Every structure is written in structure tokens, then in C-alpha cells.
Structure 1
Amino acid sequence: MRALIATILSAAILAGAPVAAKEKPTGEEKLAKILEGRVAGQPQDCITLSSATSSQIVDKTAIVYRIGSTLWVNRPRGGAESLDDDNILVTKLTGTRLCSIDTIQLHDRDSHMYAGFVALGDFVPYRKIDTAAK
């Protein structure tokens, strides 16, 4: 009987043991995956935000804007640690262009409360590698 109880207790303990959690990829790893098959171009001070079809926050790393087939990566000069892919970007423009001197507010997606801000850096274009030329 003691052996049966010991077996049941061992099984219960093992069943309750935490399963090794799959490590969440870092922001740099996520960004590398997004940029796979692309090559960096010359950094620019500004992009035309109205031409952007999407934006994506990469946790604690960067903001990626899509304009046509080009991905424009902005690694903020300040506040990157506040970037969370669950934030909403609140951008207030004085013109039609988003530039490296601008700041963007971050708001929590659920509560819409202020969650921080980032001071933008240069915009680096990443274009697909032309494999037909090889």
C-alpha cells in the first residue's frame, strides 16, 4: 500500500512540475526574422508617413514601417526599452514626413493609457535581395 501511495505521489509531483518554457525570442531575433532576405540601404532622416501601409513594433528594439516593398527600420535614439508590440503608436506630425527629430507616444492597447515615448533615430531601408541578377 505504501508503494502505491508513493507511486501516486511521485506521479502527482511530476505532473505538477513546470514544463520547460520555450524561450521568447529577443527583439533582435524578431527583427532579424523580419529582415531575412533583405539588405540595408543608406540611412535617411525622414520617411513620408502617409505612404506607409503598416508599422510594426519590435519589443525593446525598433519600429518597422512598410512603404511599398521596402521595410524602413527605425531604432530609437531614446526610449526603445518602452517599445512593446502591444502598444499603439501615437504620432503627431507637423508636416507629411516623419523624421529622426520626432518623438512618438506609446499607449497601452487595452487601457489606452500613456505607456512612454520614443525619440526616433535614422530610418534604414531594407530591400529584398535581387536573386535574378545572380
Structure 2
Amino acid sequence: MRIIPSIMLSAALTAAGVQAQAAPNEKGEAKLAKEIEGRVAGKPVSCINFRDIRSSRIIDGTAIVYETSGRKIYVNRPTSGASFLRKGDALVTRTSLSQLCNVDIVRLYDTTARFERGSVGLGQFVPYEKVKSAANGG
């Protein structure tokens, strides 16, 4: 008889965990939408050059935004581990190439506690450029 209440409790906790996990993704999607507002998506690419990356930002549980020179940003939605993404973590990548590619694994370090928290497998890099309007001459 004790098995049934345990199963029900376990199911309830699992459902609560799933609901709690979904909320940050919705917030992440909203933040990403703001990030790309006024920009147009281009054709996804497999790699971007390290020398072109000016900065990177983590969108909690959703994506990594790489800002490059000029008017372009690249959005990478990891193919695995996106739920580990958390603002404030450091992104650490080891590669022998001069490019960051969709086959690379990025490790995530908690900068406060100073330990590795997980990793993500990168996906395609989607470029976004600002829309040129006639009002501002370009």
C-alpha cells in the first residue's frame, strides 16, 4: 500500500520539476526575442571565426549570442545541454582550429563557486543583421 503513495508523490515532484524548468525557457525565449528584435535572420552556418567574436552572452536555458564586428550577431541554440546555460557562467572551449564550430563542446564554469557545472554541444550559428531603414539612411 505504501508503494502507491510513493509513486504518486514521485510523479507529482517530477511534474513540478518539469513545470519549473519550462518557466526559465519561456523567459529565455522572451529575452532572445528582445536580443534579435530589429534584426533579420540569415542562412545558418556551421562555424564562425574566433577573431571575429567581440563578446558572448548566455540567454538562460536557451542560447548563446556571439557578437561580431559590424552589425552582426550569431545565435547558437545548443543541440544538447541548453538547460545548463546560465547567465554569469564562463564559456570555455578548447579547439585546435581558428573557428568555433557546431561540432564543438563548450564547458560551463560557475564563476562564483569556481567549478565546472556542465557542458553544451553547439548547434548551427544563425546570423542576424540589423534591418536597414530608409529613415536613418542605411
**What amino acid is aligned across from residue 31 of structure 1 in structure 2?**
L
- Paired with 1:126 and 1:51, the residues of 2 have a C-alpha distance of 14
Rg comparison, structure with higher value: 1
What is the root-mean-square deviation in Å for CA atoms of aligned residues?
1.8
Any residues of structure 2 matched to 1:1-134 within 5 Å, and which?
A: 26-68=27-69, 69-132=71-134
> How many residue pairs align between the two structures?
112
- Paired with 1:49 and 1:82, the residues of 2 have a C-alpha distance of 23
- Paired with 1:127 and 1:112, the residues of 2 have a C-alpha distance of 35
Segments of 5+ residues of structure 1 without an aligned counterpart are: 1-22
How far did residue 79 of structure 1 move? 0.2
The answer to which structure has the higher helix fraction is: 2
* TM-score where L is the length of structure 2: 0.77
- Paired with 2:47 and 2:117, the residues of 1 have a C-alpha distance of 24
**CA-to-partner distance for each residue in 1:75-106, whole Å, 9 max, x for gaps?**
00000000000211011121100000000000
- Paired with 1:92 and 1:122, the residues of 2 have a C-alpha distance of 18
List 4+ stretches of structure 1 deviating above 4 A: none
How far did residue 50 of structure 1 move? 2.0
Segments of 5+ residues of structure 2 without an aligned counterpart are: 1-22
Relative to structure 2, which stretch is displaced further, 121-130 or 25-34? 25-34
The 3-state SS of whatever aligns with 1:53 is: strand
Q: Using a 3 Å threshold, how does the CA distance of structure 1 residues 32 and 117 change in structure 2: closer, same or farther? A: same
* TM-score where L is the length of structure 1: 0.79
